[in-house]
Amino acid sequence: FDTEEHFTADQLLDWARERDSSVSRATVYRTLPLLTESNLVHEMDFGKPYKFYDPNYSDSPNHNHLICEDCEKIVEFDSDRIEQIENEIGQKLGFTVKSQNLQLTAACDTLKRNGACDKKTCS
């Protein structure tokens, strides 16, 4: 992929049409499950009516996401402390943690400062 950004099917369609205007919506929607099954992207559900796709998942499956509740900006982060807490919980309950994924919904700096974000990434 030419991006490290998380994207939606509609964003992928827009990018594809920038390269080839004949690309159809059906082609994108048929291709995304193949990309997901091939572990080239990871489908993510952030409680929206559409899914996001993470092109960085195969390189770093144990990472976390901070998502702005207004503009939907997604920032990935790793935390040794979170991983340590998850392992402590797993050990206490008799489990071995194989992977971890945390999603935090928050207000980005623009939302905190202005009460709304200038640029929404999705509609």
CATH 3.30.1490.190 matches 61-116: yes
Q: State pLDDT tens for residues 97-111.
A: 887 878 999 999 999
Asked if the domains at 1-59 and 61-116 fall in one CATH topology, the answer is no
The number of beta carbons lying within 10 Å of the beta carbon of residue 87 is 14
5: left (phi over 0), alpha (psi -120 to 50) or beta: beta
How high is the pLDDT of residue 4? 81
Judged against a pLDDT cut of 60, whether residue 123 lies above it is answered with no
Band the pLDDT of 1: cuts 50, 70, 90.
Answer: low
Q: Which helix (H) or strand (E) holds 65?
A: strand 64-68
* Spatial separation of the C-alpha atoms in residues 114 and 22, rounded to whole Å: 40
Letter string b/e over residues 27-45, b meaning 16 or more CB atoms within 10 A of that residue's CB: ebeeebeebeeeeebbebe
How high is the pLDDT of residue 62? 74
Helices (runs of H) and strands (runs of E) counted in the chain? 4, 5
Q: State pLDDT tens for residues 18-73.
A: 999 999 999 999 999 999 999 889 898 888 899 999 887 667 767 789 999 999 88
What is the domain partition of the chain in residue ranges?
A: 1-59, 61-116
How high is the pLDDT of residue 37? 93
**Alpha-helix runs per DSSP H in 1-123:** 9-19, 25-37, 80-92, 109-114
Domain 1-59: which topology? Arc Repressor Mutant, subunit A (1.10.10)
How high is the pLDDT of residue 121? 52
- Threshold 0.85, pTM exceeds: no
Contact predicate 54/6, CB 8 Å: yes
